[in-house]
Amino acid sequence: MTTAHDLTVVSLEAPSEYPVERGDLSLALAGAELVDLLEAETVSLDGLLLRPVSPSPSGDRLLDAAASSVTGEPAESVEDWLWRRGRGLAAEYLAAAGAQDAGRRRPRWTVRRTADRPAPADPAARRQATERWSSGDPVLVGLAAAVGIRHESADQVGDPEDDGIAAVLATVNDAVVELAAIRQRRSIEEAAFDNIWRGM
For residues 125 and 97, the answer to whether their CB atoms sit within 8 Å is yes
163-185 pLDDT per residue, tens:
999 999 999 999 999 998 988 88
Half-sphere exposure of 140 (CA within 13 A, CB side): 25
Q: Cα(140)–Cα(6) distance, rounded to whole angstroms?
A: 8
Name the strands in the sheet holding 76-77, side by side, starting at the edge strand that comes first in the sequence.
43-46, 49-52, 76-77
More confident position, 154 or 64: 64
Q: Cα(79)–Cα(171) distance, rounded to whole angstroms?
A: 6
Half-sphere exposure of 74 (CA within 13 A, CB side): 2
Q: Cα(83)–Cα(155) distance, rounded to whole angstroms?
A: 28
Determine the straight-line distance between the first and last CA of the chain, rounded to whole angstroms.
56
How do the domains of the chain map onto residue ranges? 3-198
pLDDT at 40: 94
At 88, the pLDDT band (50, 70, 90 cuts) reads: very high
94-153 pLDDT per residue, tens:
999 876 444 444 444 433 334 455 555 678 888 999 999 999 999 999 999 999 998 876
51-83 pLDDT per residue, tens:
999 878 889 999 999 999 998 788 999 999 999
> Alpha-carbon dihedral of residues 179, 30, 89, 40, nearest 10 degrees?
180
Half-sphere exposure of 120 (CA within 13 A, CB side): 22
Helix locations, the chain, DSSP H: 3-13, 22-39, 61-68, 78-86, 89-96, 123-134, 138-146, 163-198
pLDDT at 125: 82
Q: Cα(39)–Cα(79) distance, rounded to whole angstroms?
A: 18
